[in-house]
Amino acid sequence: MNRLTPHDSSAVPTLDATQRKALEPIYARMQHVVPEVEWAVHAPYVAAINRLKRERNAVILAHNYQTPEVFYGIADYTGDSLGLAQHAAHTDADVIVQCGVHFMAETSKVLSPGKTVLIPDTEAGCSLADSITPADIALLRKRYPGVPVVTYVNTSAAVKAASDICCTSANAVEVVESLGTDRVIFLPDQYLGRWVASKTDVQVILWQGACEVHERFTGPQLREYRQRHPGIHIIAHPECPPDVLDEADYVGSTTGMVRHIEEAGASRVVMVTECSMSDNVAVQFPSVEFIRPCNLCPHMKRITLPKVLHALQTLSPAVEVDPEVAAGARLAVERMLAVGRGQENGPALMPRQAAVG
C-alpha cells in the first residue's frame, strides 16, 4: 500500500510490489534514458503525483527541457512555450502545475486567472527574463517613438504588459511581419532577434539579452561534430549565437526541432539545445543516433518530483500576478495567439502604443 497520506508534505512515498508493477508501462517508455536504479527512487513519487493530481483535478504542463521522469512520468501535456501557453488557455482543470520556469507559470496564470497555478520551485528563473524590466521598455519607447515592441515570452508578466505583442521561438518571424511596420523593437534575446532579422525585411532593433544555456554553444564546436560524425544533421534553437545557427541544417523552437527530425528522416542528429531535450526526443526516435553537446538549464532542473508532489499536497507555491499587470500581459499574449490563428494582430495594437509611448 502507498503509505503517503495525500497532504502530508513530510512523507516520502513508498510502493509495494503490485503498485510497482502497475508503473511498468510508464517506465518502459523511458528505460533507455533513465537507469533502473534511478527509476527505483522516482517510481513512488510518480505514483503519488499521478494519484494526487486526479484528486485535485490538476493538469501538469511540462516543457520539453524537463527531465524524462517528469516528461514521461507525470506530465499531461508537453511542448514548447507556445504549446504550453495554448494548453493553459484551454484547460478545464482547476489546478495547473507548471513544470518549467517561472515566466511559463506566469503566462499560464495570465491566461487562466481563475485557476490555481503552481510552480514547484519559485527560483526556477531565466537569464532572458532577468535581462529586461518595464523601465527599460519605457526608455526604448522614448528613443524609438511609435515603433512597436515585440517581446519574447521568456519575460516577466510586467514586461509583457509593457509590450505590444509577444512571440515565441515558434512564431517570432510571423509575429514581427504581422505588424505591418518597417521597424520593430525586439526584446530581450539578441540572438533570436538577429535570427528573425535574417528572415525578414523588417528592421529589428535589438536588446542585449541572452540565454545562459544557448549562448555557450560555438560554431567551431559544431564544425568539429560535422568532421567527427559524417552525415550528421545539426538542429539548433534560435537562442544560439549566429555562428552556431549558420552551421545548422534546421533552426526552430523546441517542438519545431522534434517535428523536423521526423520530417527530415535524419538518422544522426545533434540537438543544439538543453540536455534533457535530447533524452526526451531519443525516446521518441529509438532508431536515430543522437550526439549530445550537453548544456543544462539550471533553472529547468530545479523542478523535481518531490517538489511537484509537495506543490500538489500544499497547493503552493501558487503564482499570483497583479490584475492590472495580468490584463496588460494577456493582451500581448492574446495578440500573439491571434496571429497564429491567422487573425493578424488580434486585439487592436494602437491603444497600448498611445498609452505607454
Backbone angles phi, psi at 92, to 5 degrees: -95, -5
Q: Give 167 or 331: the residue with its C-beta nearer to ligand 13P.
A: 167
Q: Per rule CB under 6 A, is residue 126 in the interface with ligand SF4? A: yes
Nearer to ligand SF4, 273 or 345 (CB): 273
State yes or no: residue 170 binds ligand SF4 (CB under 6 A).
no
Residue 168 interaction partner, one of ligand SF4, ligand 13P, none, beta carbon < 5-8 Å per kind = ligand 13P
Gap between the Cα atoms of 316 and 322, Å rounded? 17
Q: Does 34 bind ligand SF4 (CB under 6 A)?
A: no
Of 289, 262, 291, 261, which Cα lies nearest the Cα of 275? 291
CB nearer to ligand 13P: give 253 or 345: 253
Residue-wise burial string across 202-215, b where 16 or more C-beta atoms lie within 10 A, e elsewhere? bebbbbebbbbbbb
Is residue 254 close enough to count as binding ligand 13P by CB under 6 A? yes
Q: Which three cell numbers stand for residue 166?
A: 509577444
CB of 157 to ligand SF4, least distance (A): 16
Strands of 268-272's sheet in order across: 250-251, 233-236, 268-272, 289-291
- Radius of gyration over alpha carbons of the chain, in Å? 21
CB of 103 to ligand SF4, least distance (A): 8
Binding mask 309-348 for ligand 13P (x = CB under 6 A): ----------------------------------------
From the CB of 105, what's the least distance to ligand SF4, in Å? Answer: 12
Binding residue positions = 63, 81, 126, 152-154, 169, 211, 237-239, 254, 297
155 forms part of the interface with ligand 13P (CB under 6 A): no
| Binds ligand SF4 (CB under 6 A): choice among 121, 247, 274, 279 | 274
Is there binding between residue 81 and ligand 13P (CB under 6 A)? yes
- The DSSP bridge partners found for residue 235 are 250, 271
From 253, 278, 304, 313, residue interacting with ligand 13P (rule: CB under 6 A): 253
127 touching ligand 13P, by CB under 6 A:
no
CA distance 260 to 249: 10
Residues in CB range of 135: below 8 A, 6 or more apart: none
Q: Specify the residue, 254 or 280, whose C-beta has the smaller distance to ligand 13P.
A: 254
Decide if 197 contacts 162 (C-beta within 8 A): no
User: Which amino acid appears at position 208 of this protein?
Assistant: Q
The rounded Cα 153 to chain-centroid distance in angstroms is 9
* Residue 81 binding: pick among ligand 13P, ligand SF4, none (C-beta 5-8 Å cut-off by kind): ligand 13P
C-alpha cell at 47: 505514483
Q: Given candidates 76, 136, 212, 289, which one binds ligand SF4 under the rule CB under 6 A? A: 212
Of the candidates 111, 158, 185, 213, which one interacts with ligand SF4 according to CB under 6 A? 213
Q: Report the C-alpha gap between 286 and 152 in whole angstroms.
A: 33
DSSP codes of every residue in 236-283: E-TTS-HHHHHH-SEE--HHHHHHHHHHHT-SEEEEESBHHHHHHHHH
> Nearest approach, Cβ of 83 to ligand SF4 (angstroms)?
15
- All three cell numbers of 141, joined, read 519607447
Query: Binding pattern to ligand 13P, positions 41-70, x when CB under 6 A?
Result: -----------------------x------
Give the span between the Cα atoms of 217 and 126, in whole angstroms.
Answer: 17
d(CA 205, CA 186): 6
Among residue numbers 91 through 110, which ones bind ligand SF4 (CB under 6 A)? 101
Contact positions toward ligand 13P, by CB under 6 A? 64, 80-81, 154, 168-169, 211, 237, 239, 253-254
Contact positions toward ligand SF4, by CB under 6 A? 101, 126-128, 154, 211-213, 239, 274, 297, 299-300
